[in-house]
């Protein structure tokens, strides 16, 4: 009889303990995760921070956070499971009463794109392991991975000849670095244009006389198609990814040369049929914004590349032109020849091996080999 009473009492205790944990295990339990930065480059290592706070007296002896994210975020030191495009990462905690745990994961960004934690599920149990408890958590961790710029040794220099910029008769603004003498102050010039030596010598306020020059600009045209005959989605995505990295290399090179640059791509960020075209500008923030656009580019063309060249890119007003593509055909070469005849300096970079069927002529054509991480001229 006493034995039965003990068993009954034990059963009641187990039932009460399970009921308490079912009701209070996740109460006042807070889980937060975030990346230590908003942007990174391909190949960089970032940190994912997890913060778990148990603000109640009841301990949580076993807690697991099941993280679901992209396979292109590699969690160092984790026994993660990868299926197709998804990575599952388990994270275990033991929470004492009124206890907080902060954990940092080292995460390597394997590929460009915008990635986030798709979902997080908290799984727990009671002290005896008889109850299975779970609760979804809305994650707010997001990271934009920018394409890693290829080190380019075929980029354009700011001064292309020893004679310097070409003086023209009329332009929107004078060149502040092209000084042709001095003239008298007309009350329209800023104070930094005053020529103090000439002012002291003549007794009148004199300013620098700047000539007008034709500025050098660069337009980069990127082809999202991996083959000549391709219906929207890229069939050889690695070749297109290489083309995007080469494009990032040219954009990054403009920070050193100071050349204003614009970008045109036969792809859409909105999922519609329009193609991507940016205004021409320069500076670190402009280049950074172009890299962000490349990070979000889908591997799906919105227009056939030859059609794109003869529509949006038909009248490109630029001094320098770069064509980056995963394949070459005669239409692309003819487009390059047409712009070179108009005085535009043209370079072509291809991420596929050269084809002996095409007549390259005297065009500046370079082939990128990812294994060698180099660009070779044809």
Asked whether residue 4 is assigned to any structural domain, the reply reads: no
Reported in sequence order, the residue ranges of 36-172 that DSSP labels E, i.e. its strands, are 39-41, 45-54, 60-70, 73-75, 81-83, 86-95, 99-109, 113-116, 119-124, 133-137, 142-146
Q: Domain span at residue 372?
A: 218-377
Asked whether residue 192 is assigned to any structural domain, the reply reads: yes
Say what the pLDDT of residue 372 is: 54
Asked whether residue 14 is assigned to any structural domain, the reply reads: no
Q: What is the pLDDT of residues 280-315, one digit of tens each?
A: 998 899 999 999 999 999 998 888 898 899 888 878
Say what the pLDDT of residue 42 is: 95
Total domains in the fold of the chain: 3
Question: Are both 196 and 250 inside the same structural domain?
Answer: no
Question: Are both 204 and 254 inside the same structural domain?
Answer: no
Distance CA 232, CA 237 (A): 12
Asked whether residue 161 is assigned to any structural domain, the reply reads: no
135 - beta bridge partners? Answer: 122
Question: Are both 196 and 257 inside the same structural domain?
Answer: no
Question: Are both 253 and 201 inside the same structural domain?
Answer: no
CATH number at residue 134: 2.60.40.10
Question: Are both 231 and 206 inside the same structural domain?
Answer: no
Asked whether residue 346 is assigned to any structural domain, the reply reads: yes
Residue of 293, 294, 36 whose CA lies nearest to 141: 36
Question: Are both 236 and 197 inside the same structural domain?
Answer: no
Question: Is the Cα torsion angle 368, 370, 371, 375 positive or negative in sign?
Answer: positive
Asked whether residue 156 is assigned to any structural domain, the reply reads: no
Question: Are both 314 and 351 inside the same structural domain?
Answer: yes
Question: Are both 371 and 222 inside the same structural domain?
Answer: yes
Cβ–Cβ under 8 Å, residues 339 and 283 = no
Asked whether residue 274 is assigned to any structural domain, the reply reads: yes
Asked whether residue 302 is assigned to any structural domain, the reply reads: yes
Distance CA 371, CA 378 (A): 18
* Residue that is last in its domain, among 104, 127, 146: 146
Question: Are both 63 and 124 inside the same structural domain?
Answer: yes
Distance CA 7, CA 14 (A): 10
Positions of the chain with pLDDT lower than 50, given as ranges: 155-173, 175, 178, 212-213
Question: Are both 290 and 186 inside the same structural domain?
Answer: no
Say what the pLDDT of residue 194 is: 80
Give CA separation, 48 vs 30, 70, 74, in Å: 17, 14, 11
């Amino acid at each position: 009889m006493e034995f039965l009473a003990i068993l009954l009492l034990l059963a009641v205790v187990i039932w009460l303990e399970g009921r308490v944990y079912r009701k209070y295990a996740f109460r006042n339990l807070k889980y937060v995760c975030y990346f230590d930065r908003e942007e990174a480059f391909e190949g960089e290592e970032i940190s994912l921070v997890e913060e778990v706070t148990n603000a109640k007296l009841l301990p949580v002896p076993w807690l697991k956070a099941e993280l679901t994210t992209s396979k292109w975020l590699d969690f160092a030191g984790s026994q993660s499971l990868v299926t197709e495009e998804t990575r599952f990462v388990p994270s275990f905690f033991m929470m004492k009463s009124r206890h907080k745990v902060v954990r940092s994961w080292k995460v390597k960004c394997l590929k460009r794109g915008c990635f986030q934690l798709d979902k997080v599920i908290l799984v727990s149990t009671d002290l005896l392991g008889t109850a299975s408890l779970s609760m979804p958590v809305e994650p707010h961790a997001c990271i934009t991975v920018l394409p890693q710029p290829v080190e380019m040794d075929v980029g354009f220099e700011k001064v292309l000849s020893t004679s310097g910029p070409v003086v023209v008769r009329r332009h929107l603004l004078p060149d502040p670095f092209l000084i042709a003498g001095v003239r008298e102050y007309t009350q329209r010039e800023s104070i930094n244009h005053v020529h103090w030596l000439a002012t002291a010598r003549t007794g009148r306020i004199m300013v620098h006389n700047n000539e007008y020059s034709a500025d050098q600009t660069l337009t980069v045209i990127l082809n999202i198609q991996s083959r000549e005959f391709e219906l929207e989605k890229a069939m050889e995505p690695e070749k297109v990814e290489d083309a995007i990295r080469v494009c990032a290399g040219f954009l990054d090179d403009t920070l050193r040369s100071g050349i204003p640059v614009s970008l045109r791509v036969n792809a859409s960020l909105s999922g519609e049929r329009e193609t991507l075209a940016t205004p021409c500008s320069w500076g670190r923030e402009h280049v950074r914004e172009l890299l962000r656009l490349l990070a979000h580019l889908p591997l799906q063309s919105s227009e056939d590349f030859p059609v794109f060249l003869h529509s949006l890119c038909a009248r490109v007003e630029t001094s320098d032109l770069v064509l980056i593509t995963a394949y070459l055909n005669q239409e692309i070469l003819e487009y390059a020849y047409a712009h070179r005849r108009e005085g535009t300096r043209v370079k072509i970079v291809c991420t596929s091996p050269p084809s002996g069927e095409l007549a390259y002529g005297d065009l500046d054509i370079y082939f990128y080999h990812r294994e060698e991480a180099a660009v070779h001229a044809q």
